Structure 1
Amino acid sequence: MVPHLVTALTGPINELEQRLLDSMPAIERWFRLEWMEHTPPFYTSVDVRNAGFKLAPVDTNVFPSGWNNLTPAMLPLAVQAAMASIEKICPEARNLLIVPDNNTRSSFYLSNLVQLRRIFEMAGLNVRIGSISPDLKKATTLELPSGESITLEPVVRTKGRLGLKDFDPCTILLNNELTAGVPGILEDVHEQYLLPPLHASWAVRRKSMHFKCYEEVCKRFGKLIGVDPWLINPIFDTCTNVDFSSDEGLEGLRATVDATLAKVKKRYKEFGIKEKPFVVIKADNSSADMAVFSVRDSKELQALRRPKSKAGAAASESTVLDVLVQEGVQTHERINEAVAEPVVYLMDRYVVGGFYRMHAERGVDESLSAPGSSYVPLAFAESMHLPQPGVRPGASAPNRFYMYGVIARLAMLAASYELEATDPQAEVYA
């Protein structure tokens, strides 16, 4: 299925695509040098937004699920990347333990685990699924609608190691964001490789830190290829101690929204963009139970104080929050008239595939990661579809995917900077 991309065929986005294609040798060399100095997250997914005049990541996940959305054609790339990753970390690796999210009863999420298991088994590892959920007391086999099955087993902790009753892995792969905090069973594991590390979890991560690192990456990358970094980087700011159940912090939030909108309006004017800008407000810490919402004017914030409002209802358990105020990036892509956005999957430093997330009931300025969303594999899934220099911008799906992949790799590089900055065992990244 080839998605119909309705993005305009003229304007900054196609100039950016052309510049990326023309600069491909310099870009690939730049990434190679970066990966000599920095360690990529073990695996990553990046939500990308294409507004027609701007292309930017809006979310970077270092504990990605959704691997079941990758097609069989994408698996060889994922397997090769898995092999490369494991060889660097533990060349003699034999056993891999996947620790899933505690909420594992969703067939969609379980299918994601099956796909991860398949990838690492094809990479030459024995793979088992070990749950840290206190509710799982014994091995439990669950049947999936596809006809496949998966067995969840309770994790056993010994002095310095995690494993199963009869399974001793050298590598632990976390597929659990640990939004509720780091449980004691995962702490002080020194004799095995824990991937990603615990400081990558939402117990420590902050979106503002990630986008600060991404901003730095974009400045350097923009200078490399000669483009304005704003074309690939959403403006953002933060506001602390906002209480959606009272007036506390709301005045500061209004000021932050106004200031951010003013900065975006200025850039729109510079580029001759006629759209009305908006900002997206979300919790800086993803473990906070808060909805994501868009505003085009700070006056709209007043409605959020109402008990039945999106933010007020969602933030009932933790009403005082630090929030990220981020320039909204529209998505002008469609699949069968539904709004869509690309999600790019990476393992180690390699792009391995992706899909379009689409939602028929959401607008171009709303989050598509919501109940009712569906997924379509990227049209350029075949591994032989390499970039095609010389083809006019906007006319080649592989060229567009190459552009998405570059943006996703920039976000992944920013995540590596971020993890270095928060690593309790290393010097603070400067």
Structure 2
Amino acid sequence: MVPHLTTALTGPTNELEQRVLDSMPAIERWFRLEWMEHTPPFYCSVDVRNAGFKLAPVDTNLYPGGWNNLTPEMLPLAVQSAMAAIEKICPEAKNLLVIPENNNRNSFYLSNLAQLKRIFHMAGLNVRIGSIDPDIKSPRTIELPGGGTVVLEPVIRTKRRLGLKDFDPCTILLNNDLSSGIPGILEDIHEQYLLPPLHAGWSVRRKSNHFKSYEEVSKRFGKLLGIDPWLINPMFNVCGEVDFSANEGMECLTTNVDALLAKVRKKYKEYGISEKPFVVVKADNGTSGMGIMTVRDVKDLAHLSDKTRLKMDTGQGGGHVHQVIIQEGVMTAERMNDAVAEPVVYMMDRYVVGGFYRVHAERGIDENLNAPGSQYVPLAFAESTRLPQPGEKPGASAPNRFYMYGVIGRLAMLAASYELEATDPEAEDYD
């Protein structure tokens, strides 16, 4: 199913698509050279927004759930990418241990684990799911709504290794974003590969670091294509002294929101865009759509409701939010059956393996769609074996549009690689 794009066949996104298609050999070579210098995150997903005049990532998740939303047609590519990823890290690997989130009995999340297990099993590994949740004291089998089961087993820690009873893995794959902190059981493991690294978790990671890296990537990519990097980059500010519950630090927030709105207005004027600019204020760490609000006018910050303050004060894992990123809002011009939609791109190693549309019937074009009530519709990758069609008009071809989404996804993945290198605690030891 291809979404109805209100941008039709006009507008800067189509000009950008044309530029991307015309530059495909140069783009692929550029990525190839980048991956010679930098290690891609093991896997990630990227939320992309297409405003018609701008196409940009708005969030990059290094512990992606939602693998169950990939269609069977996407699995061969995911398996191939899993093989490539494992081969680079531990070619002799036989056993893979997947560590999921604690206390998550959501059937969609459990189906995501089942899909991950399926992908790595088909990549030639023995895969088991080991929980570090203290409530899991013996193997627990959970029935899945669509059929099949997931077995959660308690993780056993020896001096320097993690495993299960009668199962010694070479590689440990985290599907737990560590937003509540790094559990001691995962620390000081020296004889096994832990992926992604602990400093990729939300107890350490900051969105502002990621988008700082993405800004650098977008400038270099913009130079390659001869485009204004703003067309693919959401501008941002940071405020690190806000306390929503005590209503303190609001001056810092107001100043930064005002400054960013002014910058966006200037860009809109430059490009003749008549839409009203907005910014999105969100916790600088954490995901899952928590601690997010849309601000269209700086005056709105003076009249936040108690409900909004409470929502903004509580981050993922239940912690208080004191540092926020103020991100240029990128509206979405995409629709699926008249509901607002945004593409989410899934990658493993350095490859795009598929994705889906996040669709929300009750949200507006300038609102966060990662919220209760959202639905997931697979991207139209039934034609995924088709390469982009450079001869077709921009906006007319699903493979062309999805190739462009994939380019933006890979730029965000490259930014995550830069970010993890810059925040690697072991790298700092060598300075």
Tell me which residue corresponds to 1:89.
89
| 1:75-107 superposed Cα distances (whole Å, 9 cap, x missing partner) | 000000000000000000000000000133111
Q: What letter matches 1:124 in structure 2?
A: G
SS of the aligned residue for 1:115 comes to helix
Tell me which residue corresponds to 2:12.
12
* Match status 1:203 vs 2:203: yes
The 1:218/1:276 distance shift into structure 2, 3 A limit, reads same
Paired with 1:185 and 1:368, the residues of 2 have a C-alpha distance of: 34
Paired with 2:430 and 2:37, the residues of 1 have a C-alpha distance of: 12
- Residues 120 and 127 of structure 1 are in contact (CA less than 8 Å); yes or no, is this contact kept in structure 2? yes
Paired with 2:421 and 2:329, the residues of 1 have a C-alpha distance of: 28
Paired with 2:385 and 2:429, the residues of 1 have a C-alpha distance of: 41
Structure 2 counterparts to residues 372-411 of structure 1, below 5 A: 372-411=373-412
* Match status 1:311 vs 2:309: yes
Paired with 1:53 and 1:403, the residues of 2 have a C-alpha distance of: 14
Comparing 418-427 with 343-352, greater Cα deviation is found at 418-427
Paired with 2:204 and 2:18, the residues of 1 have a C-alpha distance of: 38
Paired with 1:417 and 1:320, the residues of 2 have a C-alpha distance of: 25
Tell me which residue corresponds to 1:356.
357
Tell me which residue corresponds to 2:122.
122
Q: What letter matches 2:293 in structure 1?
A: F
SS of the aligned residue for 2:323 comes to strand
Paired with 1:310 and 1:178, the residues of 2 have a C-alpha distance of: 25
- Residues 161 and 191 of structure 1 are in contact (CA less than 8 Å); yes or no, is this contact kept in structure 2? yes
* Match status 1:101 vs 2:111: no
Comparing 158-167 with 316-325, greater Cα deviation is found at 316-325
Q: CA deviation at 1:290?
A: 4.8
Q: What letter matches 1:239 in structure 2?
A: C
- RMSD between aligned residues: 1.6
Q: CA deviation at 1:310?
A: 2.1
Q: Which runs of no fewer than 5 residues in structure 2 stay unpaired?
A: none
Tell me which residue corresponds to 2:259.
259
Q: What letter matches 2:156 in structure 1?
A: V
TM-score, with length taken from structure 2: 0.97
Q: CA deviation at 1:381?
A: 3.9
The 1:218/1:314 distance shift into structure 2, 3 A limit, reads closer
| 1:222-253 superposed Cα distances (whole Å, 9 cap, x missing partner) | 00010000000001000111011234210111
Q: Which runs of no fewer than 5 residues in structure 1 stay unpaired?
A: none
The 1:63/1:134 distance shift into structure 2, 3 A limit, reads same
Tell me which residue corresponds to 1:339.
340
Percentage of identical aligned residues? 75
The 1:50/1:155 distance shift into structure 2, 3 A limit, reads same
SS of the aligned residue for 1:221 comes to helix
Q: CA deviation at 1:319?
A: 4.7
Tell me which residue corresponds to 1:74.
74
- Residues 45 and 345 of structure 2 are in contact (CA less than 8 Å); yes or no, is this contact kept in structure 1? yes
- Residues 289 and 368 of structure 2 are in contact (CA less than 8 Å); yes or no, is this contact kept in structure 1? no
The 1:357/1:429 distance shift into structure 2, 3 A limit, reads farther
Q: What letter matches 1:70 in structure 2?
A: L
Q: What letter matches 2:405 in structure 1?
A: Y
Paired with 1:427 and 1:234, the residues of 2 have a C-alpha distance of: 29
Tell me which residue corresponds to 1:231.
231
The 1:352/1:287 distance shift into structure 2, 3 A limit, reads closer
Q: What letter matches 1:414 in structure 2?
A: A
Structure 1 segments (4+ residues) deviating >6 Å: none
Paired with 2:181 and 2:321, the residues of 1 have a C-alpha distance of: 18
SS of the aligned residue for 1:97 comes to strand
TM-score, with length taken from structure 1: 0.97
Length, aligned pairs only = 428
Q: CA deviation at 1:315?
A: 1.6
Paired with 1:100 and 1:94, the residues of 2 have a C-alpha distance of: 20
* Match status 1:149 vs 2:149: yes
SS of the aligned residue for 2:396 comes to coil
Paired with 2:279 and 2:41, the residues of 1 have a C-alpha distance of: 28
- Residues 46 and 59 of structure 1 are in contact (CA less than 8 Å); yes or no, is this contact kept in structure 2? yes
SS of the aligned residue for 2:420 comes to helix
| 1:266-305 superposed Cα distances (whole Å, 9 cap, x missing partner) | 000000000000000001111799521101111111232x
